[in-house]
Amino acid sequence: MASYALSMTKTLTQHHATQPGKYQQRFTVGICFFVLALAFSARATLGLVMPVWQSELGWSRSFVSGAGAGALIVMAIVAPFAGSLVDHRGPRFTLSLGLVLLSIGCAIISATHSAILFVIAFSGISAIGFGIIATHVVSTAIARTFEHNRGLATGIATSGATGGQFLIVPLLASLLAVASWRWSFGGIALASAMLIPCILWLMPKAQAIKVGCHATLQNAHSFSGDIKFIVGRPAFHVLFWSFLLCGFTTTGVIETHFLAYASYCGFAPVASAMAYGLLCAVNMLGMIGAGWLTDRVNRAVLLAAIYLVRGATFFILSSVGSSIETLFVFAAVFGMVDYATVPVTASLVTTHVGLRVMGLAMGLISAGHSIGAALGAYLGGYIFDRFGSYAAIWTMSLWLAISAGILALLLLKQAHLRPGAAAASQTVTRRQRI
């Protein structure tokens, strides 16, 4: 076993020679930003066209919300495998595969009138693509590429999940206003297909992993062994359950129902999309800012603060009424703390679980996020159809966000923990705090 461990350590440390240069690092950040922008815009379009489908095709909000929830469940199932895939095959192959599926799924949606085909395309094909083109895959790609300023780079790359939508979603809303909703999904399908050659041509085939001289390599090639190792870390459970609540209060209720709620309040599609675009633009700044702070402050406190501020924003959302100004205020404040949890959570996974299995660990945590999001998406539609109002779901989201903040504070008790295997499988910036 000792000779095997030394052999594996030597093999992994040879990756030092292939550490990507600054050009490749910057391109990796840029391409990850744009790939996430397309995938998340496709998901946001569901809420944008929900009222149109209800009037044109007779699809209820419960049905469309159910399809969205189904997609999130598929994403939850796919997430760990996507994380393991990026651990072993790298982001070049993984992201290209996700874009192929996203393009096919959106193309089918743009051409169908069938509810069954819509579910297959969105909750099946596209959902697998969504599960692959995800923030945990991007976070792992960045962590494997950057040794310094990892938090900031993660914040910039993953901000494509919302920042790219600042332009894409309003453009899709404009297409919806002057043409058929089919152009929206068709445009995403075309853009996804065009991005694949860029990845295959310019993104490096493999990413480096730095391993210390005292590496613990037990279970290195066992999927089940890696899962047991990950689940054995106390910090994983804190991050998993807080991220599950994060999914409910962001992707579940806001990404799926914000535009539908704005329509319910009487706002036109373009005005609603502009508010959502503002949310996404501020969200980009929030993610970058959170990434910058991740390299500099106590991350447990930072994560808790993000959740607590998010909970407070649901007070604003509940009082929107017919005021477009209040809607924009909510969009701006919520945007600052929407996906700001991603770079902080990814950083905590890197130091408390380990870079070697970061993709799988983040995949499991992201699966929890998708489960929470699925619950939020479905309950939002169900509650609206049952009571004709979103008030109950906003109150529920408020308390769940506060609960996530309290959970995050439990990480303060683990400030002294540095798992041997985790520390051995990565190079951690020494000034980085819990």
Q: List the domains of the chain with CATH numbers.
A: 19-209+222-424 (1.20.1250.20)
pLDDT score recorded for residue 335: 92
Cα–Cα distance, 195 to 185 (Å, whole number): 16
* 56-70, 144-158, 170-184, 288-302: segment of lowest average pLDDT: 170-184
pLDDT score recorded for residue 371: 87
> Tell me: the pLDDT tens digits for 375-410?
998 899 889 888 888 999 999 999 999 999 999 999
With bands split at pLDDT 50, 70 and 90, how would you rate the model's confidence at 324? very high
pLDDT over 90 for what percent of the chain? 38
Please determine, for residue 94, whether its predicted confidence score (pLDDT) is greater than 80.
Answer: yes
3-state secondary structure of 39: helix
Angle formed at CA 42 by CA 84 and CA 246, multiple of 5 degrees: 60
Angle formed at CA 377 by CA 350 and CA 341, multiple of 5 degrees: 25
- Are the C-beta atoms of residues 76 and 248 closer than 8 Å to each other? no
pLDDT score recorded for residue 325: 93
pLDDT score recorded for residue 145: 76
Please determine, for residue 342, whether its predicted confidence score (pLDDT) is greater than 60.
Answer: yes
Region 315-327 average pLDDT? 91
pLDDT over 70 for what percent of the chain? 85
In terms of Cβ atoms closer than 10 Å to its own Cβ (0-12, 13-18, 19+), residue 431 is: exposed
pLDDT score recorded for residue 50: 81
Please determine, for residue 301, whether its predicted confidence score (pLDDT) is greater than 90.
Answer: yes
pLDDT score recorded for residue 185: 87
> Tell me: the pLDDT tens digits for 187-198?
889 999 999 998
With bands split at pLDDT 50, 70 and 90, how would you rate the model's confidence at 14? very low
Cα–Cα distance, 107 to 98 (Å, whole number): 14
With bands split at pLDDT 50, 70 and 90, how would you rate the model's confidence at 221? low
Region 63-87 average pLDDT? 86
Cα–Cα distance, 431 to 295 (Å, whole number): 8
pTM of the model: 0.75
- Between these two residues, 51 and 284, which has the higher pLDDT value? 284
pLDDT score recorded for residue 164: 66
Mean pLDDT over each residue of the chain, to the nearest integer: 82
pLDDT score recorded for residue 322: 86
Please determine, for residue 4, whether its predicted confidence score (pLDDT) is greater than 60.
Answer: no
Written as six digits, the tokens of 415 are: 């400030």
pLDDT score recorded for residue 286: 92
pLDDT score recorded for residue 21: 63
pLDDT score recorded for residue 418: 42
Angle formed at CA 294 by CA 152 and CA 73, multiple of 5 degrees: 85
- Between these two residues, 63 and 18, which has the higher pLDDT value? 63
Please list the alpha-helical segments (H only) found in 339-413: 341-352, 358-387, 391-409
pLDDT score recorded for residue 420: 38
pLDDT score recorded for residue 170: 75
* 157-161, 218-222, 366-370: segment of lowest average pLDDT: 218-222
pLDDT score recorded for residue 10: 41
